[in-house]
Amino acid sequence: MIRSKYGIPVASPGAILREESLAGTELGIAAEALTRHGKLVPDSMVLQVVEHWLEKIDDGFVLDGVPRTLGQATDLESLLKKRSTPLEVVIALDADLPTLQKRVINRLICQSCGQSFSVGLHVVSSQSVCPNCGGKLGRRGDDTLETLEFRMREYLEKTAPLIGFYENRGLLHRIDSQETPESVFGAVVKILEAE
């Protein structure tokens, strides 16, 4: 929604790595082996993907799902400092555990463009086609409640400290993401347009 309203390019290392794994590249295969078990890919691999992607960007950008660890956050900070393009806004989308469980069960990924959708929110059923490109939708092999539990432990240990990290820098905005996509996006727009 940010991309289509403002024309700002969005990078999601998760989506990029899934593309790499579909293409069977070395990086993709290594990343898939880790994420299949809910593990986070190593900081160096994630930052490599981001750095490579940023080489093609001259203006504003959105990073989605990165950083996920303090190591990634500090590496990203020095990478962006080198480019003189520091982060201006950090948005945390809050949701409780039952909501996350429902989303994992309902999540479909487009096999062509890599975007993710939720049954009931963005598409009617698992038989629907991608609203973005008309591609085929499928479930991710690692979208299970068991993997979610593992991801939650990783999140609490490694990602949750980023809330304080970005709060200290005066960049953090938190949004209740349990509303409809339109109302969550409305909150995002308010934040972006206040900057």
Mask for 4-43, x = binds Zn ion (CB under 5 A): ----------------------------------------
Q: State the Cα–Cα distance between residues 31 and 13, nearest whole angstrom.
A: 10
Q: From the CB of 18, what's the least distance to Zn ion, in Å? A: 12
Listed residue (105, 133, 135) closest to 120, CA to CA: 105
- Note whether 156 binds Zn ion by CB under 5 A: no
Q: State the Cα–Cα distance between residues 181 and 162, nearest whole angstrom.
A: 24
Q: From the CB of 43, what's the least distance to Zn ion, in Å? A: 29
Listed residue (89, 64, 61) closest to 195, CA to CA: 89
Q: From the CB of 111, what's the least distance to Zn ion, in Å? A: 8
Site for Zn ion in 111-140 (CB under 5 A): 112-113, 130, 132-133, 135
Half-sphere exposure of 114 toward its Cβ, with a 13 Å CA cutoff? 15
List residues near Zn ion by CB under 5 A.
110, 112-113, 130, 132-133, 135
